[in-house]
């Protein structure tokens, strides 16, 4: 057995991981400009506990990859909460992909993005991000591709500061995120890293209904605390 396996921190579930992550972020507690944004779906139970610990508002930051038609695993860009679009010009030139195709794919993904946002927060509008300290939360970072897209899209909203927070990530994760974030907080970095789920005892799917419930509970708890 790998000697490092004994040193890997394991979590009972996403809620426990979120509570422990909240302790790592305590310096951001009770600050008026802090907003916790979770990547759905799995990041929301983690983000809920972080928001509770910091007494900060919680919302989702939905990102939809724009896959190249016929090669959907290849991302030519992404769209996110707030209607922000990020394009990978290198991929677009190398394929190549026409403007018309980009618009068709973006329109389709925008429909799904809006469906998810309606399921998650009903008809409530997305929170203001500009000028705020954003704590961007997921249940773990594997390749870093989803988080990188989210960071790029989030920058378009002009936050004052971006803090990436996750219970687990591979040892090389910081290089994958680049220099576009102000701080990264990760509890455990298993070596070897196989998958996010390796540090969780319970790692089931998070449903749309659970996301909606947690967002609603977070809003109610914040109103009570104030």
Could you tell me the two tokens for 60?
């989702």
In contact, 39 and 166? CB cutoff 8 Å: no
Indicate the pTM of the whole model: 0.89
Quick check: helix, strand or coil at residue 74?
strand
- Which domains can be identified in the chain, with CATH numbers? 3-62+129-219 (3.40.50.2020), 64-121 (3.30.1310.20)
Nearest one of 82, 149, 150 to 114, comparing CA atoms: 82
**pLDDT tens for each residue of 7-30:** 678 999 999 999 999 999 999 998
> How many C-beta neighbours within 10 Å does residue 115 have?
12
Flag whether pLDDT at 3 surpasses 70. Answer: no
Quick check: helix, strand or coil at residue 78?
strand
Distance CA 9, CA 190 (A): 8
Flag whether pLDDT at 189 surpasses 70. Answer: yes
**pLDDT tens for each residue of 120-157:** 998 888 899 999 999 999 999 988 888 888 998 899 89
> How many C-beta neighbours within 10 Å does residue 9 have?
13
Flag whether pLDDT at 2 surpasses 60. Answer: no
Work out the average pLDDT over 76-81: 90
Distance CA 19, CA 59 (A): 17
**pLDDT tens for each residue of 37-61:** 999 999 999 999 999 999 999 999 9
């Amino acid at each position: 057995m790998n000697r490092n396996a004994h040193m890997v921190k394991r979590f009972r579930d996403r809620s426990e991981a979120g509570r422990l992550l909240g302790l790592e972020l305590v310096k951001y507690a009770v600050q008026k400009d802090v907003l916790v944004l979770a990547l759905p779906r799995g990041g929301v139970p983690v983000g809920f506990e972080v928001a509770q610990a910091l007494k900060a508002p919680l919302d989702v930051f939905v990102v939809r990859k724009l896959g190249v038609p016929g090669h959907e695993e290849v991302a030519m860009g992404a769209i996110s909460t707030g209607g922000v679009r990020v394009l990978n010009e290198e991929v677009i030139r190398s394929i190549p992909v026409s403007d018309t195709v980009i618009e068709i794919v973006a329109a389709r993904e925008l429909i799904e993005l809006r469906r998810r946002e309606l399921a998650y927060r009903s008809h409530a509008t997305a929170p203001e991000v500009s000028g705020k300290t954003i704590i961007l939360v997921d249940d773990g970072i594997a390749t870093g591709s989803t988080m990188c897209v989210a960071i790029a899209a989030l920058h378009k909203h002009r936050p004052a500061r971006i803090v990436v927070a996750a219970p687990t990530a591979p040892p090389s994760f910081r290089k994958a995120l680049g220099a576009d974030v102000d701080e990264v907080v990760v509890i455990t970095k298993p070596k070897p890293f196989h998958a996010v789920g390796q540090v969780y005892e319970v790692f089931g799917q998070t449903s749309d209904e659970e996301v909606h419930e947690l967002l609603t509970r977070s809003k109610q708890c914040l109103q009570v605390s104030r």
